[in-house]
């Protein structure tokens, strides 16, 4: 059942003992939203607790500062920024069919809760939580502001993605006025790299090749490279954006070796080149600017096939 | 003479034929401010023209779109975002003692103009220009909004630096509402690297060494590396921030070989380690978190000296 923010407000005011669930592989928005709401509820005298299936990465420790560790049994279960119960992760899956209230900004939300508030136009769930806390009449203190700002800045890629709206900026302005150190938050969230990430980036840059008068750049990541760098999934995230960053490159291609030896290919394009059309040659697909496909060949063959397809896409341009 | 924005307004309204000067090695703020003001003046029927000593880098071409190319002799000279006449650059130095109006956000401004408006609390000169255009009664159109937003996002490092204020965010929100594509502006300004930049980064990552249980990371850039990468000054900008980005690193050191073989050292620190104190050992100085010094030795000796000084700073922590 879809409910309004006012109805959520009444619900929260008249109940107690809330567990607030985040999604697995937690990010700044799910943790920022959960901790902001938890703190707001605690400030109104309620019992509230944030649960996450995974260990919280160290950089997010700024979000739970000042949260009281309360031991209690939940009467009500809330999920924030969780689009699908599958995303709760192993340790929280037991709550899948017990979620009373779901607050989320993913249009794709599976509507798994008894009550839900989904606002797809919000860049971050934290923006919804900001409105909700105001409606609850709880004063946004510096610690809540840290959580809200972190949710917004991380989900907008530091205000770089197309999802950032005037509201994202205006709420952030309000949060700055609560005395947060936005500079330090952004440094923690964006400018810190693990040594493994650094090592994998170094290796990946060594593989970069250019084709078609440097309008196409190709990198690859093998399992051997990942092993050497001791890299995990999050260390490898976003590597596919590297080739297209090079000046003059219209098509950036990343080949990543999977466990079964198949190469997973990511294609990123500029202007009027369709990434989806390139990948459809191999049974893949995606969007105009970003698409993917799988190539079950060894590296050299896979690279030649995708580079040829890029060449075909350039023809007649 | 210091004047108010209202006085600038009267000045502009009652005069005509303006040259607007930017600083050399132009950036998004000086060009954004100049083009926004130029367009606003042209919209009120004035002759106005932006001048820069240097060739404008291609990525800033979005800022001059829609500006009419007017040929006229200047009656009045305005400078924007120029802290010192030395920064006008070779081709504009002839205007050094002829500047009627200086609009700037650098506290360090040398007060070289007949009239000036300096607002050190602004993250970008573009914020001042925004206020001025509103005062002039000129409607901010999409093209002016692109200029204002670009000035703010570039001078705040994409809202990452400590200089970004609530006003920076709120003006940006207003600019988004004029229909600009902030995502694309940020991609052009931040996520595009020259091949030389990429090559120098690749080489620099290869030089990274860790000391003191990885609390200190050191990189170096030699003239040979710069030559090999065909890198220019702007390609090398910001390399000094790389070592401190590594998780767990408290002190990041960058040694850069100068023309005379001396190594210029940049030290960046976290928490309670003073970068200035480390550099003062060698006659250098700076701030708590960022400082520099010169070491007239060959690479190995220079590196040993600065690493030893870092070790000394760690002692007793």
Interface test with A, best of B172, B194, B215, B218 (most A CBs within 10 A): B172
Q: Do A160 and B158 touch (CB under 8 A)?
A: yes
Give the pLDDT confidence score for residue A316 in this predicted structure: 63
Residues of chain A with pLDDT under 50: none
What are the pLDDT digits (tens) for B130-141? 999 999 999 999
Per CB-CB distance under 8 Å, the chain B contacts of A194 are: 246-247
Q: Across the A/B interface, how many CB contacts are shorter than 8 Å?
A: 107
Shortest distance between the Cα of B243 and any Cα of chain A, in A, equals 10
Per CB-CB distance under 8 Å, the chain A contacts of B173 are: 166-167, 169-170, 173
Contact by Cβ (8 Å): A154, A187:
no
Decide the pairing of beta strands A76-80 and A101-104: parallel
- Of A70, A67, A81, the C-alpha closest to A28 is A81
Side-chain half-sphere CA neighbours of A309 within 13 A: 24
Decide the pairing of beta strands A48-51 and B101-104: unpaired
Per CB-CB distance under 8 Å, the chain A contacts of B205 are: 198, 201-202, 205
Average pLDDT for chain B: 94
Considering only CB atoms, which residues of chain A are within 8 Å of chain B?
Answer: 153, 158-162, 164-167, 169-170, 172-174, 176-177, 181-183, 186-187, 190-195, 198, 201-202, 205-206, 208, 214, 241, 245-248
- Of B65, B8, B23, B60, the C-alpha closest to B42 is B65
- Of B41, B44, B45, the C-alpha closest to B19 is B41
Q: B218 φ, ψ to 5°?
A: -130, 130
Q: Do B162 and A183 touch (CB under 8 A)?
A: yes
For residue B266, pLDDT over 90 is answered with: yes
Interface confidence, given as ipTM, is 0.83
Contact by Cβ (8 Å): A129, A35:
no
Integer Cα distance of B92 and B139 in angstroms: 30
Q: Do B205 and A192 touch (CB under 8 A)?
A: no
Domains with residue ranges and CATH for chain A: 5-190 (3.90.1640.10), 195-314 (3.10.310.30)
Q: Do A162 and B183 touch (CB under 8 A)?
A: yes
Give the pLDDT confidence score for residue A270 in this predicted structure: 83
B183, B201, B202 member nearest A161 (Cβ): B183
Considering only CB atoms, which residues of chain B are within 8 Å of chain A?
Answer: 153, 158-162, 164-167, 169-170, 172-174, 176-177, 181-183, 186-187, 190-195, 198, 201-202, 205-206, 208, 214, 241, 245-248
Q: Do B183 and A173 touch (CB under 8 A)?
A: no
Give the pLDDT confidence score for residue B316 in this predicted structure: 63
Integer Cα distance of A170 and A134 in angstroms: 14
Q: Which residues contact B203 (CB under 8 A, 6 or more apart)?
A: B221, B225, B228, B229
Shortest distance between the Cα of A143 and any Cα of chain B, in A, equals 17
What are the pLDDT digits (tens) for B121-132? 999 999 999 999
Shortest distance between the Cα of A283 and any Cα of chain B, in A, equals 29
Q: Do A191 and B245 touch (CB under 8 A)?
A: yes
For residue B178, pLDDT over 90 is answered with: yes
Give the pLDDT confidence score for residue B233 in this predicted structure: 79
Give the pLDDT confidence score for residue B317 in this predicted structure: 65
Side-chain half-sphere CA neighbours of B166 within 13 A: 10
Looking at residue B75, what DSSP letter applies? Answer: S
The pTM of this model reads 0.84
- Local structure of B246: helix, strand or coil: strand
Nearest CA in chain B to A195: B246
Q: Do B173 and A167 touch (CB under 8 A)?
A: yes
Shortest distance between the Cα of A55 and any Cα of chain B, in A, equals 17
Nearest CA in chain A to B194: A247
B164, B170, B193 member nearest A170 (Cβ): B170
Contact by Cβ (8 Å): B17, B46:
yes
Contact by Cβ (8 Å): A17, A46:
yes
Give the pLDDT confidence score for residue B261 in this predicted structure: 85
Give the pLDDT confidence score for residue B173 in this predicted structure: 98
Q: Do B173 and A176 touch (CB under 8 A)?
A: no
Per CB-CB distance under 8 Å, the chain A contacts of B246 are: 192-195, 198
Side-chain half-sphere CA neighbours of B16 within 13 A: 9
Contact by Cβ (8 Å): B50, B64:
yes
Give the pLDDT confidence score for residue A313 in this predicted structure: 94
- Of B66, B36, B34, the C-alpha closest to B144 is B36
A169, A246, A248 member nearest B176 (Cβ): A169
B154 CB neighbour count, 10 Å cutoff: 22
Mean pLDDT of B258-272: 90
The larger pLDDT score, comparing residue B4 to residue A289, is at B4
Tokens at residue A43, please?
Answer: 């400030």
């Amino acid at each position: 059942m879809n409910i309004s923010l006012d109805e959520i407000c009444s619900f929260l005011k008249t109940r107690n003992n809330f567990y607030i669930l985040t999604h697995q592989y937690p990010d700044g928005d799910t943790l920022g939203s959960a901790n902001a709401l938890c703190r707001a509820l605690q400030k109104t005298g309620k019992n509230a607790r944030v649960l996450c299936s995974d260990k919280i990465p160290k950089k997010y420790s700024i979000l739970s500062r000042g949260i009281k560790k309360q031991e209690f049994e939940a009467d009500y279960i809330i999920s924030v920024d969780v689009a699908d119960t599958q995303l709760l992760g192993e340790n929280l899956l037991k709550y899948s069919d017990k979620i009373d209230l779901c607050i989320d900004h993913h249009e794709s939300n599976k509507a798994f809760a008894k009550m839900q508030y989904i606002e797809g136009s919000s860049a971050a769930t934290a923006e919804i939580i900001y409105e909700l806390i105001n409606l609850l009449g709880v004063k946004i203190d510096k610690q809540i502001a840290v959580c809200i700002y972190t949710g917004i800045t991380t989900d907008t890629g530091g205000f770089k993605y197309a999802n950032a709206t005037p509201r994202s900026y205006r709420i952030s302005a309000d949060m700055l006025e609560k005395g947060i150190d936005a500079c330090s938050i952004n440094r923690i969230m964006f400018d810190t790299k693990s040594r493994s990430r650094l090592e994998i980036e170094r290796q990946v840059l060594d593989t970069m090749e250019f084709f078609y008068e440097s309008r196409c750049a190709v990198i690859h990541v093998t399992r051997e490279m990942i092993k050497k760098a001791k890299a995990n999934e999050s260390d490898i995230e976003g590597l596919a954006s590297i080739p297209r960053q090079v000046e003059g490159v219209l098509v950036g291609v990343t080949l990543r070796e999977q466990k079964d030896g198949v190469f997973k290919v990511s294609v990123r394009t500029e202007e009027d080149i369709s990434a989806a059309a390139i990948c459809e040659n191999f049974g893949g697909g995606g969007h105009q600017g970003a698409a993917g496909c799988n190539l079950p060949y060894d590296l050299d063959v896979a690279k030649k096939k995708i580079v040829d397809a890029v060449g075909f896409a350039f023809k007649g341009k």
